[in-house]
């Protein structure tokens, strides 16, 4: 009989990740790639020693209270852990890890895609060509908002935010940021720190959200905050949908306070917000910030590194609870 720990992988991960997982664990994996609800998670917990979930599996306090005591570690395939009640998991003695560092480049690429696509009217332009309706040109045709040389505000100057800042510097943008604490000079790289969000918003022709979703940041961008942006600003969100009051975003689009928005995440996922489809100046992607082959492999391997450490008696590098 195998003495390997039993590991439940809740979603279909990369081939390289699954191959490595089978080397050291007795793996239960859902190759149908479905989302698992509370009762399924609780039922599976009696069969496994460890769980490697994605952000689609919700470990609320109610779910955690029902988990079987056999489960010792939850090694998330994500940086964000807002789907986990860390207090409840810690109280149960269940170790929780995440996968920082490895998805910063890929997510920053999507942030720049959204920023450029929103500013330069990519949805509208693509639709014109794709539907055969491009039959006109003039100097006033499809005029968008220039990115180069503009001011960008970044809320959340962690790993992803710092890479977004670096990419923006490539467009000679002036970088401003708000963070829980100011970065040291070698990481700040000339970016201008704002102690409060309000002063940052006032100068942000472009705004990138790169902070975690927490009870304190839920609805961070609401009607009051949108009103503090310069007229015609562009907002980009590659963090979590909960950061934005979506009704307030629509109101800001309709009033012209926002000239455009680029969104990779939504309050409701999957599916997004059907109301956004009415607006050609809202450029949307289906939460694919980290969706590259290289990054998916790296995320899976990072989660397995944390599992390997735990089951060999070492402290996981990426422990968050």
- Quick: pLDDT tens for 240-249: 999 999 999 9
Q: What is the 3-state secondary structure (H, E, C) of 89-126?
A: HHHCCCEEECCCCCCHHHHHHHHHHHHHHHHCCHHHHH
Instruction: Tell me the pLDDT tens digit for each residue of 296-320.
Output: 999 999 999 999 999 999 999 999 9
Q: Please list, in sequence order, all residues whose beta carbon lies within 8 angstroms of the beta carbon of residue 125, skipping any fewer than 6 positions away.
A: 142
Give the residue numbers marked as catalytic. Answer: 240, 269, 287
Q: For residue 17, which of 292, 302, 318 has the smallest C-alpha distance?
A: 302
CA 22 to CA 14: how far, in whole Å? 13
Residue 267: what pLDDT?
97
Contact in structure between 156 and 211 (CB atoms under 8 Å): yes
Whole-number Å distance between alpha carbons of 308 and 73 = 11
Residue 76 has a pLDDT of 98
Residues 3-15 pLDDT 10s: 899 999 999 999 9
In percent, the amount of the chain with pLDDT more than 90 equals 97
Q: Is the pLDDT of residue 266 over 70?
A: yes
- Per CATH, the homologous superfamily of domain 6-102+293-311 is NAD(P)-binding Rossmann-like Domain (3.40.50.720)
Say if residue 1's pLDDT is above 60: no
**104-284 matches 6-102+293-311 in CATH topology:** yes
Q: Can you tell me the mean pLDDT for 35-51?
A: 97
Average pLDDT, the chain: 97
pTM for this predicted structure? 0.92
134-146 pLDDT, tens digit per residue, is 999 999 999 999 9
Residue 93, phi-psi category: left (phi > 0), alpha (psi -120 to 50), beta (remainder): left
Q: For position 30, what pLDDT does the model report? A: 84
Domain ranges of the chain: 6-102+293-311, 104-284
pLDDT average, residue stretch 150-154: 98
Per-residue pLDDT, averaged over 39-54, amounts to 98
Nearest to 160 by CA among 234, 103, 242: 103
Domain formed by 104-284, architecture: 3-Layer(aba) Sandwich (3.40)
Please write the tens of the pLDDT for every residue from 165-186. 999 999 999 999 999 999 999 9
């Amino acid at each position: 009989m195998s003495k390997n720990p039993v590991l439940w992988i809740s979603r279909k991960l990369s081939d390289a990740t699954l191959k490595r997982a089978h080397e050291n664990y007795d793996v239960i994996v859902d190759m149908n790639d479905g989302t698992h609800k509370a009762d399924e998670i609780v039922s599976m917990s009696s069969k496994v020693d460890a769980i490697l979930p994605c952000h689609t599996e919700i470990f609320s306090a109610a779910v955690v209270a029902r988990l079987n005591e056999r489960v010792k570690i939850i090694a998330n395939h994500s940086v964000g852990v807002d789907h986990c009640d860390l207090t409840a998991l810690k109280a149960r003695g269940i170790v929780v890890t995440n996968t920082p560092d490895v998805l910063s480049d890929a997510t920053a690429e999507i942030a720049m895609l959204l920023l450029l696509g929103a500013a330069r009217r990519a949805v509208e332009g693509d639709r014109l060509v794709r539907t055969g309706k491009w039959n006109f040109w003039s100097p006033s045709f499809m005029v968008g908002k220039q990115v180069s040389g503009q001011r960008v505000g970044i809320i959340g100057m962690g790993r992803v935010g710092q890479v977004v800042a670096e990419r923006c510097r490539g467009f000679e943008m002036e970088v401003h940021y708000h963070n829980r604490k100011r970065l040291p000079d070698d990481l700040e790289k000339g970016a201008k720190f704002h102690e409060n969000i309000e002063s940052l918003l006032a100068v942000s022709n472009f705004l990138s959200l790169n902070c975690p979703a927490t009870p304190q940041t839920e609805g961070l961008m609401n009607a009051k905050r949108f009103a503090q942006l310069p007229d015609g600003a562009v907002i980009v969100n590659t963090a979590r949908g909960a950061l934005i009051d979506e009704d307030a975003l629509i109101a800001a689009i309709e009033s012209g306070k926002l000239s455009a928005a680029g969104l990779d995440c939504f309050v409701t996922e999957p599916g997004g917000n059907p109301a956004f489809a009415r607006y050609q100046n809202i450029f949307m992607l289906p939460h694919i910030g980290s969706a590259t082959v290289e990054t998916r492999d790296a995320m899976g391997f990072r989660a397995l590194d944390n599992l390997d450490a735990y089951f060999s008696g070492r402290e996981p590098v990426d422990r968050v609870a």
